[in-house]
Amino acid sequence: MRRREFLGLVSPSLLVMLGLLLFPLYKTVEWSLQRVDYGEPGTFLGLDNYTQALSDPRLGRAVLFTVGLTVAVVAVLLVGGYLLAVLVNGLGRSRPWVLGVLLVSYVVPNVVGATMFSWLFDSNFGGVVNYLITELTGAEILWFTEPWANRVMIGLNTVWFMLPFAMLVILAGLQGVPEEIVEAARIDGATGWRVHWHVIVPSIRGVLTFVSIISIMDVLRTFDQLVPLSPQAPQIGNESIMLYIYNIAFQDGGQQLGLGSAINVLLIVLIVLLLSPFIRDMAKEARQ
Amino acid sequence: MYAGRAATARGARPLVVALGLAVALLLAGCGAGSRTPAATATLVPCDFPPPPSSVDVNVLAYNSSAIDPFTNSMVRSCSRDGVTLHHEPVDYAGQSQKATATLAGRYGTYDILETYGFVVPQQASTGTLHPLDDLMARYGAQTGLDRLNPQMREALSYDGKLYGIPMQAQTFVMAYRRDVFDRLGLTPPRTFAELREVAGRIQRDGGIRYPLALPLLASSDVATAYDAALGSLGTDYVDRDTGRPNFDTPAAARAFTELRSLLPLMDPQVTTFAQPAVQQQMYNGSAAIAIMFSGRMLDLTRPANSRFAADFAFAPPPSVAGGNVLYNTLSVDGWAIPENTEVDKDLLFRLIAASVGEESSRAAVPAAFPAREGMVTPASSPFAAAQLEAIGRASPPEPFPWTSRISNDTRPVVADVLAGRTTIPDGQRRMQEIATAIVAGYRR
Amino acid sequence: MSTVQTAPPATTSGPSGDDVPAPARRRPRGRTVLVGGLLLLVCWVMLSPVLWTAMSVTKPTDVAFLDPPVFTWTPTFTAFVDLWQTTEFYRYLLNTLVVALISTVVALLIGIPAAYALSRYPGWVSVSLLIAALIFRALPRFAVVLPMYELSRSLGIYDTTFAVAAALVAINQPFSIWLLRNFFAEIPKELDEAAMLDGCSRFQILWRVMVPLMGPGILTAGIFMFLFAFQEYLTANVLTDVVARTVPVFIATQLGQTLPMLQQAGAAAILLTLPVVGFAFVAQRYLVAGLGAGSVKG
């Protein structure tokens, strides 16, 4: 392919991304160096916003919470997604139904799904999970104010709406595993989980990487679902980085667009750092 | 590929079922948008000279039983002669966020804004609201606005200028379950000590584990609650004469101890409850006493919402320590015109005038307490008497631009102190620092 | 990947249907039941939030959110009727559909040529563009959406479905490029060369040869774009106000309401869910097939 053809084909997409992603990104970096209000030109501050952001313990807590949630959720997604994909892969006629049902939580908007999810746990609104737990064990769990209970609920919700995607991609990957190598392993006497661990998992490594990348990106940006699920997130240390940005840059009373932008930039750095091993792999593979 | 025609046909069946169900549900309500407020609200006179070209007017006002009548009358009655009013349903948090966005900078979506006395000084001092005195002078007499309650007009003024046309006042009202009180021989509490006593009796009686319900949402209502407690103890945020914040005074500490003393009587998750959650506690019968704004009371009396609708009775809220000033907040709600609107402000003013006119105000009773004398009588509603008494017993407003900023910025500290994560002296110290810095910014 | 290797359907004991491939390997019957039961449980758990909401919104309003919950009631569809008649839900639904359709079509129109070029043009340019796209995919929404707010204001397109659709095209472009590029990579380059010998230009190859071969790939990418756009909350919330409000934004602004509006918000959630559930049932086969066709090698 000639360079001219390449440019001709790529340019519409490239223009859209430059205009609507790179330019906004540039604005964010610019704002991060300013004191600025919506709709007004800012004044240059230098790195003040960054020092202010980095000295705020609330940011530290937000990073800890977000990264912790990411690690936990991605681990569950990989294991759960794999197991579920294997189960679904073994299905016959019922497979379209099972897949259709499993995809429901993925296609519902996050904020709506999280609200439905919160109604299961909210005793004030007759939450059935709460009711059953109290009926069966007598315990009353404070899902919205107890930090760890709240974390568990947020984690469950995140897994709930991301698991279908992980399962789907892994399932697609399983279709590509040649039957011969599985049979060969069986003939060699491998059984049960050994076949999975030593044969199937390595052969779909690319797929698992893909799931990890997408999940890491998405959990690091956790925001929508916290609005219904954690009404006092800042108080109990369950504020995600995005929610923190929202609270200081957008929420009633906090209009610190410059500071919010600085944290946006820091979040981008964090994301790129966490993704860098995968990016290196991808670069290598894409070059081939 | 997952092949086979039979499989395809089978796979399509769930779609047909789901779509069929969706269509059936949609058809169940065919006549989409046929009963919107714009079609059903009370028609009131709305006079204005037809504008030269058609005009769209966007109205920002949160939905509640007390605000809706004013908004809906305006939208329905004034959408004519080339003028179209738009109002999208939004909750209180949504309104706060959109108000900030629309007032910031050169562009604004909204042309008429619902606002309230607490935030008017801050909005007015930054020049984002249009002063209404000239318009009032021009149209006030012919539209009957000169008969609006003068104190309420004052509440929406800043620095001698009028920035909002009052539509109604809201105060705290105490709702309680008369059946429960009668059974236990209780009378409505008049102080926090009595409140603890009464709620404690209900709690010990069993059945209702957390009898008391206050909106104490950590990201919003908790600041109002603290302000109300402080006010009932006769103390302002900031001393009016010296400009010194009062958070280091004994009253500031007492406000905390009093509020904290109520915690064992309330749901352990109360710091996640806004007013709708408190209403839900009352609907469900999981609480027997609630204190919140009067605009939320009509919902309680509707049998469609609660099986206990007929059992609710109402009283003024108690005072914290027995003084004349109650645990109360007087909030005056009204309409304002953003400075950055592109619509003719004379026209907007006349739309507002229609919304708060005689007919519209009368139609808003009993849901609201309109800003016109004599509209509400003790017979207007089950809670009217309580409302009438409470309205004269609230702490005076603090009409300064720093008031709402102090409230916003100290809110997380208040939440931490209530939750016991910060001690009262520590919380006081931090609040004093925050408030001192804010006031200093304005005095410089 | 073609036919599905299956165990017998979990619950039936009768003869299997004609079109079900014979099981490759007999599993012990107890295990089949166990697997079936496990999957049933998973499905039930995954559906429970939606089911519970569906229950709440068909209860009479005064018991809709009662604590402890009621488990027997006479179903009523009042909440749906009220939602449909007393709000402009139909308009939000229309906006949502318009945004989703426009952004899907445009994303594919500009994504397909770009992905094709990236799959055929070796070297550092392609690699760095792909890496850049990957990082774009990972950007926190606020870093793009808040400047977009300013941009749309100054261009005068704020609060239009066009602005939301344009934003979503850009935001979802990286994902569609990656997905489509992997599909193109599966098609042998020899095909291009043969077509070139026949005198086709690159554009002709793309539209006449590649696109017809890419059916499942384009479908998969399209389904994802549609779903992403249909669910988008944050972008739509920041870029719309009165005119172009979408259903997720509408529902989110109703969550702080009391009865009966809260119940209507639940009804709106169910109404939004039902069509996408139907969509999911149809789409699942193409998603698995499409993703399996090599799209996720990278």
3-state secondary structure B170-208: ECEEEEEEHHHHHHHCCCCCCEHHHHHHHHHHHHHHCCC
- B284: amino acid identity, one letter: N
Residues of C in contact with A286 (CB under 8 A): 126-127, 130-131, 298
Interface test mutation site (partner B, options A232, A250, A256, A257, max chain B beta carbons within 10 A): A232
Q: Span C195-205, mean pLDDT? A: 85
Spell out where B294-330 has E strands.
312-315
Q: How confident is the model at residue C16 (pLDDT cuts 50, 70, 90)?
A: very low
A280-284, B7-11, B282-286: which is most confident = B282-286
State which residue of chain C sits closest to A250, comparing Cα positions.
C146
Residue whose structure tokens are 């699920």: A229
In this predicted structure, the answer to whether residue B96 has a pLDDT above a threshold of 70 is yes
Chain C CB within 8 Å of residue B18 CB:
yes
The C-alpha torsion from C240 through C246 and C251 to C252, rounded to 10°, is -30
Q: How confident is the model at residue C293 (pLDDT cuts 50, 70, 90)?
A: low
Q: What is the pLDDT of residue A252?
A: 54
Give CA–CA dist C209/C231, Å, rounded: 33
Interface test mutation site (partner B, options A119, A130, A230, A252, max chain B beta carbons within 10 A): A252
Min CA distance, A157 vs chain C (Å)? 10
Nearest to B100 among A40, A234, A252 (CB): A252
Give CA–CA dist B28/C79, Å, rounded: 11
A153-157, B63-67, C101-105: which has the minimum mean pLDDT? Answer: B63-67
Q: Residues of A near B (CB-CB distance < 8 A)?
A: 37-40, 93, 96-97, 100, 123-126, 142, 144-145, 231-232, 234-235, 250-255
Give CA–CA dist B268/B419, Å, rounded: 10
Chain C CB within 8 Å of residue A192 CB:
no
Nearest to B4 among C19, C82, C271 (CB): C19
Strand-pair category, B55-60 with B83-87? parallel
Structure tokens at B123: 């909005």
**Which pTM value belongs to this model?**
0.89
Query: Crossing angle of helices C29-58/C261-290, nearest 10°?
Result: 150
State which residue of chain B sits closest to A124, comparing Cα positions.
B281
Chain A CB within 8 Å of residue C297 CB:
yes
Q: What is the pLDDT of residue A253?
A: 52
A70-74, B46-50, B252-256: which has the minimum mean pLDDT? Answer: B46-50
Q: Contact B106/A39, CB-based, under 8 Å? A: yes
Q: Contact B415/A253, CB-based, under 8 Å? A: no
Residues of C in contact with B280 (CB under 8 A): 65, 258-259
Nearest to B91 among C86, C89, C253 (CB): C253
B411 within 8 A of A252, measured Cβ to Cβ = no
Nearest to C278 among B15, B30, B305 (CB): B15
Q: What is the pLDDT of residue B30?
A: 65
Q: Please, which chains are in contact with B (at least 3 CB pairs closer than 8 A)?
A: A, C
Q: Span B219-248, mean pLDDT? A: 94
Query: What Cα–Cα distance (Å) separates residue A168 from each residue in A165, B1, B233, C216, C298?
Result: 5, 15, 61, 15, 16
Q: Residues of B near A (CB-CB distance < 8 A)?
A: 7, 10-11, 14, 93, 96-97, 100-101, 104-107, 217-219, 267-269, 271-273, 277, 280-281, 284, 286, 404-405, 408-409, 411-412, 415-416, 419, 421
Q: Where are the alpha helices (DSSP H) in B206-331?
A: 221-232, 250-261, 275-284, 297-300
Q: Contact C292/A27, CB-based, under 8 Å? A: no
In this predicted structure, the answer to whether residue C245 has a pLDDT above a threshold of 70 is yes
Min CA distance, B365 vs chain A (Å)? 29
Structure tokens at B211: 């009898």
In this predicted structure, the answer to whether residue B41 has a pLDDT above a threshold of 80 is yes
In this predicted structure, the answer to whether residue B83 has a pLDDT above a threshold of 60 is yes
Q: What is the pLDDT of residue C21?
A: 44
Query: What Cα–Cα distance (Å) separates residue B354 from each residue in A96, B71, B275, B419, C266?
Result: 58, 10, 29, 45, 34
Q: Please, which chains are in contact with C (at least 3 CB pairs closer than 8 A)?
A: A, B
Min CA distance, B221 vs chain A (Å)? 12
User: Around C269, how many Cα atoms within 13 Å sit in the side-chain half-sphere?
Assistant: 34
Q: Span B148-173, mean pLDDT? A: 93
Give CA–CA dist A27/A21, Å, rounded: 10
Q: Which residues touch C78 (CB under 8 Å, ≥6 apart)? A: C60, C61
Q: How confident is the model at residue C19 (pLDDT cuts 50, 70, 90)?
A: very low
Q: What is the pLDDT of residue B283?
A: 96
Q: Span C87-107, mean pLDDT? A: 93
Q: Which residues touch B222 (CB under 8 Å, ≥6 apart)? A: B216, B271, B411, B414, B415, B418
Min CA distance, B48 vs chain A (Å)? 32
What SS3 class is residue A249? Answer: helix
Q: How confident is the model at residue C26 (pLDDT cuts 50, 70, 90)?
A: low
Strand-pair category, B331-336 with B112-116? antiparallel
Q: Span B181-185, mean pLDDT? A: 96
- Order the strands of the B212-213 sheet from edge to edge: B212-213, B289-293, B172-177, B312-315
Query: Crossing angle of helices C261-290/A95-107, nearest 10°?
Result: 130
Give CA–CA dist A216/A244, Å, rounded: 18
Mean pLDDT, chain B, as a whole number?
90
Min CA distance, A227 vs chain B (Å)? 11
Q: Contact C289/B63, CB-based, under 8 Å? A: no
Give CA–CA dist C290/B200, Å, rounded: 64
State which residue of chain C sits closest to A167, comparing Cα positions.
C288
Q: How confident is the model at residue B316 (pLDDT cuts 50, 70, 90)?
A: very high
Structure tokens at C242: 């009165």
Burial of A217 (0-12, 13-18, 19+ CB in 10 A): buried
Residues of A in contact with B405 (CB under 8 A): 253
Q: Contact C136/A206, CB-based, under 8 Å? A: no
Q: Contact A253/B409, CB-based, under 8 Å? A: yes
Burial of B216 (0-12, 13-18, 19+ CB in 10 A): buried
Size of chain A, expressed as the number of residues it contains? 288
Q: Contact B412/A234, CB-based, under 8 Å? A: yes
Q: Contact B107/A253, CB-based, under 8 Å? A: no
Q: Contact C150/A228, CB-based, under 8 Å? A: no
Residues of B in contact with A251 (CB under 8 A): 97, 219
Q: Contact B219/A38, CB-based, under 8 Å? A: no
State which residue of chain A sits closest to C278, comparing Cα positions.
A100
CA C227 to chain centre: 2
Backbone angles phi, psi at A35, to 5 degrees: -95, 120
Min CA distance, B218 vs chain A (Å)? 6
Instruction: Return per-residue pLDDT of chain A as tens, 288 residues.
Output: 788 888 889 999 999 999 889 999 999 999 999 887 766 777 888 888 899 889 989 999 999 999 999 999 999 999 999 999 999 988 878 888 888 888 889 888 888 899 999 999 999 998 999 999 999 998 889 999 999 999 999 999 999 999 999 999 899 888 888 888 888 888 888 777 888 888 888 888 888 988 998 899 899 989 989 989 998 898 899 999 999 998 888 765 557 888 889 999 999 998 888 888 877 877 776 665
The C-alpha torsion from B226 through B227 and B230 to B234, rounded to 10°, is -160
Nearest to A20 among C10, C67, C166 (CB): C166
Higher pLDDT, C217 or C25: C217
Chain C CB within 8 Å of residue A20 CB:
yes
Q: What is the pLDDT of residue B20?
A: 65
Q: How confident is the model at residue B389 (pLDDT cuts 50, 70, 90)?
A: very high
Q: What is the pLDDT of residue B24?
A: 60
> Shortest CA distance to B3 belongs to which of A174, C6, C3?
C3
Burial of A5 (0-12, 13-18, 19+ CB in 10 A): middle
Q: What is the pLDDT of residue C298?
A: 40
Mean pLDDT, chain C, as a whole number?
83
B19-33, B166-180, C194-208: which has the minimum mean pLDDT? Answer: B19-33
Q: What is the pLDDT of residue C10?
A: 36
Q: Contact B100/A255, CB-based, under 8 Å? A: yes
ipTM greater than 0.85, yes or no? yes
Backbone angles phi, psi at B274, to 5 degrees: -90, -175
- Distance between first and last Cα of chain B: 74
Interface test mutation site (partner B, options A88, A108, A124, max chain B beta carbons within 10 A): A124
Buried b / exposed e along A145-169 (16+ C-beta atoms within 10 A): beeeebbebbbbbbbbbbbbbbbbb
Q: How confident is the model at residue B438 (pLDDT cuts 50, 70, 90)?
A: very high
Give CA–CA dist C153/C47, Å, rounded: 40
Q: What is the pLDDT of residue A39?
A: 65
